[in-house]
Amino acid sequence: MTFTPVLGLLAVLLLAPALPGIANRVKSALTGRRGAPMLQLYADLGKSWRKGVVYSPTTTILFRLGPVVLVCTALLAAGLVPLDGTTSPIRFTGDLVAFAGLLALGRFMLVLAALDTGSSFEGMGASREVTFAVFAEPALFLCFTVFVVATGDLRLQDMLGQPLAHTWLATAPSLLLGAASLFIVSLAETNRVPIDDPLTHLELTMVHEVMVLDHSGPDLALILYASALKMALFGSLVVRVFVAGAMVSAPMALGLLLIGLVVYAMAVGVVESVMARLRMNHVPQLLVAASATAGFGLILLLR
Amino acid sequence: MQPSHDVLLLLVVLTNFWVLGTTRLSSMIRAAAMQGLLLAALPIALYPHASLHIVGLAIGTLLVKAIVLPHFLTRAIREAAVRREIEPLIGFTASLILGAAAVALAFAIAPRLELPGTPSGMLIPVALSTVIIGLLVLTTRNKALTQVVGYLILENGIYVFGLSQAERVPFLVEVGVLLDVFAGVFIMGIVVFHINREFDSLDSARLTELRD
């Protein structure tokens, strides 16, 4: 048993809040502004954590449960990802379903908490979030299927680890299609442009942000942290596909993964700068296109 | 490692998805131009021992499909002032799903067609799926210009199919095909212009209305 999986997990848990900062910094630089400090989210988390909480008298236990479940599921899901390319801290056959399921559970609880407030804006945000998730999830599973078929393994640790490295040369086009599709899914899952704009302040156009309007203090800090962690997780999935092709030792792979995460955050920032967010009714189209891309990768494998 | 022609064919399929998924006409024409560019590179990648025939085919394709036709179509949308396809008969999301199904179908039936001397196993399925997707665009979109792009995609599929036999098909036949397409799109362009002037719209559904 080596220490790199645990080290990787700790590194990702610690560094996750820097990723949205990097994305925003790239966005500012490309639009000619100085922008907020890269580590702004750490300060925001600290500030929210020290504050008190305000609960509306109309809310129930569901509202308090939402952020806690969200952060717990994200932490558990983080344990499933093979960050150093050899082993995941938690692993069992079929854990890819658990990964998607945990994130879905977190989202479900957050949606329930939003509906619990009884605010029509939050209900609207929740309905949009779920609408997009309906299209993002099949795309995610199609991407996973590409990697499962390529490696013949049902564990995240194997389908994104050593076996993937061995099959890289033979199946590169399918894996690249899968990775491209996974990147689009990651933008949808982490509520970035072109699916959702994390910086918008108009309730009518917000998706994820409007759902969490009523959360305050430590609850808000948990939600912010969980979103950053989710971004790091999806980023690691995308980056792992490429790092696996490099075939290096575990500590090296972990280092490459962390560098890759920074590149991923920068790529997200570039995407946010060069395109506007899509109209709501075009988002499903983009996600179906992502599914079609992954599906095409799958067809190439099954040929 | 995958040979370069397979990568090109893969990108051809991706441009097909692009054509199916985009609502803007200019973006659609750009996708068709991209596809023309890929198709021009394809004969050289497939037959590296470049004969005069193959090089001629590549240059002809580059000129007609990647430069002249897209340029012509771009001018047509500027003059007709249409920007996007509003209400296709089959929605964009549904047509993307149909497109993916078409690709799956093409890859499923292609191994049953045994053609002598095809240089790549992906050539026939990509050709079939491109033809089906071209037909899909041609039949389910309302704007006359989008239908022209659909026709172009359909013809691109036939061209890919023809490439599988490029060593055998005489040069003259292929030049004839390219010229046919060029003339076809040219005539359609003029028709589109007249439809637009007559009806103030490019909606081909309105051609069924009778009036003096």
Measured between beta carbons, the chain A residues lying within 8 angstroms of B104 are: 295, 299
Do B61 and B39 touch, CB atoms closer than 8 A? Answer: yes
Residues above pLDDT 70, as percent of chain B: 91
Query: What's the average model confidence in pLDDT over A146-163?
Result: 89
A169 near B CB under 8 A: yes
Residue type, A291: S
B96 near A CB under 8 A: yes
Q: Which of A173, A286, A288 sits opposite B10 (nearest CB)?
A: A173
CA–CA min distance A67, chain B (Å): 33
Poorest-pLDDT segment among A52-56, A108-112, A159-163, B113-117: B113-117
> Is the per-residue pLDDT at B189 higher than 80?
no
- In the prediction, which pLDDT does B1 show? 44
A275 near B CB under 8 A: no
> Is the per-residue pLDDT at A62 higher than 60?
yes
Q: Do B99 and A282 count as a contact with CB atoms less than 8 A apart?
A: no
Q: Which of B7, B96, B104 sits opposite A285 (nearest CB)?
A: B96
Number of domain units in chain B: 1
Reduced 3-state DSSP string for chain A = CCCHHHHHHHHHHHHCCHHHHHHHHHHHHHCCCCCCCCCHHHHHHHHHHHCCCCCCCCCCHHHHHHHHHHHHHHHHHHHHCCCCCCCCCCCCCCHHHHHHHHHHHHHHHHHHHHHHCCCHHHHHHHHHHHHHHHHHHHHHHHHHHHHHHHHCCCCHHHHCCHHHHHHHHHHHHHHHHHHHHHHHHHHHHCCCCCCCCCCCCCHHHCCHHHHCCCCCHHHHHHHHHHHHHHHHHHHHHHHHHHHHHHCCCHHHHHHHHHHHHHHHHHHHHHHHHHCCCCCHHHHHHHHHHHHHHHHHHHHHHHC
CA quadruple A68, A69, A74, A78: dihedral, nearest 10: 100
Structural domain harbouring B119: 4-208
The pLDDT tens digits of the residues spanning B67-87 come to: 988 998 888 888 777 777 667
Q: Which of A172, A289, A295 sits opposite B21 (nearest CB)?
A: A289
CB atoms within 10 A of CB A213: 16
Tell me how far the alpha carbon of residue A271 is from its chain's centroid. Answer: 16
- In the prediction, which pLDDT does B2 show? 62
Complex confidence, ipTM: 0.81
Q: Do B2 and A291 count as a contact with CB atoms less than 8 A apart?
A: no
The pLDDT tens digits of the residues spanning B34-53 come to: 999 999 998 888 888 767 88
Measured between beta carbons, the chain A residues lying within 8 angstroms of B7 are: 173
Q: Do A303 and B7 count as a contact with CB atoms less than 8 A apart?
A: no
Contacts with B120 (C-beta within 8 Å, 6 or more apart), sequence order:
B3, B5, B6, B9, B46
Q: Domain spans of chain A?
A: 4-302
Q: Do B103 and A169 count as a contact with CB atoms less than 8 A apart?
A: no
- In the prediction, which pLDDT does B49 show? 77
Q: Do A299 and B92 count as a contact with CB atoms less than 8 A apart?
A: no
- Chain B residue with CA closest to A298: the answer is B104
Do B202 and B87 touch, CB atoms closer than 8 A? Answer: no
The pLDDT tens digits of the residues spanning A249-262 come to: 888 889 999 999 99
B182 near A CB under 8 A: no
- Chain B residue with CA closest to A180: the answer is B14
Measured between beta carbons, the chain B residues lying within 8 angstroms of A145 are: none
The pLDDT tens digits of the residues spanning B101-121 come to: 999 999 999 888 877 777 777
Q: What is each CA distance from A223 to A66, A214, B29, in whole angstroms?
A: 9, 12, 43
